[in-house]
């Protein structure tokens, strides 16, 4: 059934799934996962599938799931508050050095990243990718978070042992990145992608396990145990809301600290004085919050999706070597005022490593100062959907404000 710019798939025993996937491939396993979520009794109205939708754990990445008086922890996931930040500067392309290797190196030194222990300022082997001695800016950001975190730890002491403060202002690995980009007018942008790091993972894992234990007693007919949910009034519901809200604040602060360090590092390489944050966006794409839609107050879980209220700014990154977009939301009610969070994978990391070579990676990232080794072949652009097709499929969700192309890319 076709309706406007989305297709509607009716689900037996569940709510419909509205799919903004015209011209974009969707794997059968992802469709099945969407149908499973649509059959949950707490899901409200319909599920919205974004054009980057693909198989996830429990719930599909690239889905918007509204629930009435309940939240599905595994739909939010373990990278709670993962998202993007971008800042436009007054620099232009000609202000960048001819050789960008020094700029990339400066950024890599300024922001702990990856999963291997690093030199000065990095963590010892058991705390990879973090600070050994967090700088003052991290301590200042942590001061805004620590009281609520301590209150959470009083009830769940295992969270105290996480890499919380030491991961604040750090990138991580996988598909997390820092980029220097040029927009359509030649202005320089800094852009990065990360979330709540180890502490967010611990909070997500803790409550997903608790939800599954609850489900063994109260939700025996779940189509997938990863869809176990907490209802309002349940034992852990309030604690989960507090935990996930805290992790989302941590993720936001994490990106802010990194961005400040990236810009400071750039000033050591680029001698021309410049202003940053001429335009700035900081948005989650893995999170849950309470919103009002179709006359009801509901919890909206965006798992790999971005809020796109009318006039709201967002970021839709392409893959390594592809274009990215700064967008403005159109406030489409049918998508619960949401859009995609990126291009979306078309193959697993393992499959990408088997299918593509180092030569393929070098060719796909020609002109970009970035890693071109075996450790990032799984992030090759061909492992992702075509970002242009993704954007065309959601033309009724957002309008493009800026088109960015990276010239430097730092991967964990």
Cβ atoms of residues 46 and 68 within 8 Å: no
pLDDT at site 123: 35
Q: Please indicate, yes or no, if residue 163 is contained in any of the structural domains.
A: yes
Q: Please indicate, yes or no, if residue 43 is contained in any of the structural domains.
A: yes
Half-sphere exposure (Cβ direction) of 237: Cα atoms closer than 13 Å = 11
pLDDT at site 171: 96
Q: Please indicate, yes or no, if residue 375 is contained in any of the structural domains.
A: no
Rounded to a whole number of angstroms, the CA Rg of the chain reads 21
**Structural domains in the chain (count):** 1
Q: Please indicate, yes or no, if residue 369 is contained in any of the structural domains.
A: no
Distance CA 111, CA 261 (A): 7
Q: Please indicate, yes or no, if residue 72 is contained in any of the structural domains.
A: yes
pLDDT at site 124: 34
- Residue 302 bridge partners (DSSP): 64, 287
Taking the complete model, does pTM exceed 0.85, yes or no? yes
pLDDT at site 232: 96
- Residue 178 bridge partners (DSSP): 192, 410
Distance CA 90, CA 86 (A): 14
User: Splitting the chain (412 residues) into consecutive groups of 10 residues, what average pLDDT does each group show?
Assistant: 78 97 95 96 97 92 98 95 98 97 96 63 49 93 98 97 95 92 98 96 97 86 91 96 98 98 98 95 97 98 98 93 93 98 88 91 88 87 90 97 96 82
pLDDT at site 81: 97
Q: Please indicate, yes or no, if residue 54 is contained in any of the structural domains.
A: yes
Q: Is 120 left (phi over 0), alpha (psi -120 to 50) or beta?
A: beta
Residue with tokens 């700014």: 313
**269, burial (CB in 10 Å: exposed 0-12, middle 13-18, buried 19+):** middle
54, 284, 341, 402: the catalytic one is 341
Distance CA 124, CA 132 (A): 7
Q: Please indicate, yes or no, if residue 15 is contained in any of the structural domains.
A: yes
Instruction: Provide the residue range defining the domain that includes 122.
Output: 2-346+384-411
Q: Please indicate, yes or no, if residue 250 is contained in any of the structural domains.
A: yes
| 218: annotated active-site residue | no
pLDDT at site 57: 86
HEC assignment per residue over the chain: CEECCEEEECCCCCCCEEECCCCCCCCHHHHHHHHHHHCCCCECCCEEEEEEEECCCCCCEEEEEEECCEECHHHHCCCCCCEEEEEEEEEEHHHCCCCCHHHHHHHHHHCCCCCCCCCCCECCCCCCCCECCCCHHHHHHHHCCHHHHHHHHHHCHHHHHCCCHHHCCCCCCCCCEEEEEECCCCEEEEEEEECCHHHHHHHHHHHHHHHHHHHHHHCCCCCCHHHCCEECCCCCHHHHHHHHHHHHHHHHHHHHHHHHHHHHHHHHHCCCCCCCCCCEEEEECEEEEEEEECCEEEEEEEECEEECCCCCEEEECCCCCCEEEEEEECCCHHHCCEEECCCCECCCHHHHHHHCCHHHHHHHCCCCEECCCHHHHHHCHHHECCHHHHHHHCCCCEEEEEEEEEEEEEEC
Q: Residue 3's CB: how many other CB atoms inside 10 A?
A: 9
CATH number of residue 127's parent domain: 3.90.1860.10
pLDDT at site 128: 56
Token pair for residue 402? Answer: 């800026």
pLDDT at site 412: 77
- Dmax over CA atoms of the chain, in Å, equals 64
pLDDT at site 371: 87
pLDDT at site 122: 37
CA-to-CA dists, residue 52 to 267, 287, 304, 342, 381, angstroms: 35, 17, 8, 6, 14
């Amino acid at each position: 059934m076709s309706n406007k710019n989305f297709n509607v798939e009716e689900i037996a025993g569940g709510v419909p799934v509205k799919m903004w996937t015209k011209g974009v491939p969707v794997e059968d396993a992802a469709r099945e996962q969407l149908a499973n979520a649509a059959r949950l009794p707490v899901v409200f109205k319909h599920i919205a599938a974004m054009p980057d939708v693909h198989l996830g754990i429990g719930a599909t990445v690239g889905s918007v799931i509204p629930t009435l008086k309940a939240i599905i922890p595994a739909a939010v996931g373990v990278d709670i508050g993962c998202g993007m930040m971008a800042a436009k500067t007054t620099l232009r392309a000609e202000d960048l050095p001819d050789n960008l290797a020094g700029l990339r190196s400066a950024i890599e030194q300024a922001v702990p990243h990856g999963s291997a222990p690093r030199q000065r300022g990095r963590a010892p082997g058991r705390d990879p990718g973090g600070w050994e001695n967090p700088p003052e800016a991290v301590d200042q950001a942590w001061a805004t978070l620590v009281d609520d975190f301590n209150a959470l730890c009083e009830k769940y002491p295992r969270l105290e042992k996480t890499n919380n403060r030491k991961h604040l202002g750090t990138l991580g690995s996988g598909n997390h990145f820092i980029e220097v980009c040029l927009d359509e007018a030649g202005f320089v942008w800094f852009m990065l992608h990360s979330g709540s790091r180890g502490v967010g993972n611990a909070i997500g894992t803790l409550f997903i396990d608790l939800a599954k234990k609850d489900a063994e007693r109260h939700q025996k007919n779940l189509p997938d145990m990863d869809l176990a949910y907490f209802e309002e009034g349940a034992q852990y519901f309030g604690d989960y809301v507090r935990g996930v809200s805290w992790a989302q604040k941590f993720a936001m602060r994490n990106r802010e600290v990194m961005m400040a360090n990236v810009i400071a590092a750039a000033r050591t390489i680029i001698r021309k004085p410049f202003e940053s944050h001429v335009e700035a966006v900081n948005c989650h794409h893995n999170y849950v919050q309470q919103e009002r839609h179709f006359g009801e107050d509901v919890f909206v879980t965006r798992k790999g999706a971005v809020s796109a209220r009318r006039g709201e700014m967002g970021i839709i990154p392409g893959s390594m070597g592809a274009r990215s977009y700064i967008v403005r939301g159109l406030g489409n009610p049918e998508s619960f005022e949401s859009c995609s969070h990126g291009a979306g994978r078309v193959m697993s990391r393992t499959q990408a490593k088997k299918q593509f070579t180092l030569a393929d990676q070098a060719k796909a990232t020609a002109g970009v100062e970035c890693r071109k080794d075996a450790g990032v072949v799984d992030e090759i652009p061909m492992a992702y959907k075509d970002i242009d097709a993704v954007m065309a499929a959601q033309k009724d969700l957002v309008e493009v404000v800026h088109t960015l192309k990276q010239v430097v890319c730092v991967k964990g």
